[in-house]
Amino acid sequence: MPHGIFVEGRRPKSKKEVKEALKEGKHVSLEDTGIMGKDYDGPVAQMPEGKSFAFVGPDPYTRRSFYGTLIRVGNKITLA
């Protein structure tokens, strides 16, 4: 299951909002929603380098309006 995502502690309304938040250096975090095992759960800035994480929003459980993938290479976070 894709991760949930938060911007400044709340669910974003769009993928564009996530992209702008990353550009502005706001606090963006991923929420592990998996049932089997433990995946990354925490700030995007500290996610494992070189590993991609799919997310869905605004809410992975009730409303899936947009999707994206984040990857960290060094200190750079890329949103696809």
3-state DSSP assignment of residue 71: strand
Q: Report the distance separating Cα 57 and Cα 11, nearest Å.
A: 7
> Helix (H, G, I), strand (E, B), or coil: what is residue 30?
strand
Position 75 confidence tier, pLDDT thresholds 50, 70, 90: confident
SS3 assignment, position 12 = coil
Q: Is the pLDDT reported for residue 1 higher than 80?
A: no
What pLDDT is stored for residue 34 in this prediction?
Answer: 84
Tokens 């696809």 sit at which residue? 80
pLDDT value of residue 23: 95
In tens, the pLDDT along 17-70 reads 999 999 999 999 999 998 876 889 999 999 999 999 999 999 999 999 999 999
Instruction: Please tell me the pTM assigned to this model.
Output: 0.90
Q: Which DSSP letter does residue 10 get?
A: B
